[in-house]
Amino acid sequence: MFQKLILCCVSAPALFAWQSGSLDAAMQAMGAASLKTIQYSGRGAIFTLGQNKNPEAPWPRVEVDSFTYTLNYETPSSRSEAMQNKQRIQAFFSDGRAWNVVGNNTVPSPPAAATLRMMQIWLSPHGFLKAAAANKATVRSRTSGGRKIQQVAFTLQGKYRMQGTIGADNLVERVETRLDNPVLGDMPVEVAYSDYKDFGGVKFPTRIVQKDGGFPTVDFTVADARANVDLRVDVPTTVRDASPPAVKVDAQKIADGVWYLTGGSHHSLAVEFRDHVVAIEAPLSEERSLAVLAEIRKLIPNKPVKYVVSTHHHFDHSGGVRAVAAEGLTIVTHKANEAFYRNALAPPRTLSPSKKPGKVKPKILAFTEKHVMTDGARTLELHLIQGSPHHDGILMAYLPKEKILVEADVYTPAAPNAPPPAAPNPASVNLYENIQKRKLEVAQIAPIHGRLVPLSELERAIGKAR
């Protein structure tokens, strides 16, 4: 929750002009009327969105030893602190900007993070009531499971449809909305609140469970809550002056008709065939992947880009798949990822200034163990990395004539002349075993992260240097 947080341009006076009736009763019961800030703390877990080992599994769980989360409903702003694996992480939001502090390092966050952190304020139980009162919410009574509930709905900032449930005890039980995600489009977000306790006249839940995209992303047990603590969050100059880095694509020809497209944290490749081009990887975002496509079309202007190979569905590697699919490219991937892409790309992306906002009906070419793309002169082999601890349906690409291997995540070369790791990465060991099993003659590895290296660098990293 503290990596995702907050949004609303409702003025402070308007927040307190709540409606009568059900909202007023809930405000009174929860102690929200005079609440300007809330601070709550405890322990629990967060889950890493979009990094599950296969598309049907929950997001991976990460334990949080302790957290303290403070929201200011008047500013609005927020601050969170967490101890995770003996590391202190702080996340902030103020004046429409977001940033993290890890150790002594202040790191500006992208605008999307600021939106998420802003929205988290109004997804909180008291924040939801305040935003509902300020945005002319509709309140409807109904019976569910034999008990009466109130359903509250309103639109925030003209784009975010907020819905919430208030129980018969006038406590907020659930808040739902949709937030933008480059892979899932308008992603459903649902927060459930339960086991309320009275903390100095303010009712606050001691159990918070949030789901993003259908799987839990937060599971917190709250031990303490305090009302109206002082919270002033000043935006550091380095954050205020920061601007998102421009998308940069650098092209390096690494073989005849093969280009390595770098310039960011995630790379792609272009492979030229007789009458078309194959792109390998559409990572990170629409902006990145469309820039990669533009560079490929500049490098090879007379041939269409027909296919994009998606090594696996992890969101940092599939953030541009929606955009390239909307361009008409066929997605080539493992069978394990096929249903995910069909379902994920179906919802529209209306909450983002996307160039490709509509629903996408992707063309998908899926296989199980091996797929060969060839025009008689050039061959590109795609292999499942069997038994990978990183992902059940992750692919490696191999150009047999050029003896080039392409892989993502399972091996990231260290800096030149860096010592090998004390303990080899199991995913890298597994990659090497797959290379040997398939008897691939690899001269060079073109990783999606890192730098071009000979196979000997991988052998050195896993303790098999010759």
Give the count of domains, the chain. 2
Q: pLDDT for 65-104, tens place per residue?
A: 999 999 999 999 999 999 998 899 999 999 999 999 998 9
CA distance 127 to 121: 6
SS3 for 257-316 is CEEEEECCCCCEEEEECCCCEEEECCCCCHHHHHHHHHHHHHHCCCCCEEEEECCCCCHH
| Residue at 281 is within a domain | yes
CA distance 414 to 420: 8
Contact 461, 425 (CB under 8 A): yes
**One domain, residues 448 and 318:** yes
Burial (CB count <10 Å: 0-12, 13-18, 19+), residue 415:
exposed
Contact 304, 280 (CB under 8 A): no
Q: pLDDT for 108-130, tens place per residue?
A: 999 999 999 999 999 999 999 99
**One domain, residues 420 and 312:** yes
What is the greatest pairwise CA distance in the chain?
A: 78
pLDDT, mean of residues 6-11: 37
CA distance 295 to 66: 46
Question: 185 φ, ψ to 5°?
Answer: 70, -130
Percent of the chain with pLDDT over 70: 95
CATH number, domain with residue 368:
3.60.15.10
pLDDT, mean of residues 403-424: 96
User: pTM for the whole thing?
Assistant: 0.93
Give the residue from 173, 132, 127 showing the smallest Cα distance to 149: 173
Question: 229 φ, ψ to 5°?
Answer: -75, 155
For residue 244, the model assigns a pLDDT of 87
Q: Give, in degrees to the nearest 5, the angle at Cα 192 between 189 and 198.
A: 140
The residue type of 325 is A
**One domain, residues 307 and 217:** no
| Residue at 119 is within a domain | yes
Domain of residue 340 covers: 250-461
Contact 277, 259 (CB under 8 A): no
**One domain, residues 158 and 95:** yes
| Residue at 27 is within a domain | yes
Q: Which of 219, 240, 261 is the last residue of a domain?
A: 240
| Residue at 3 is within a domain | no
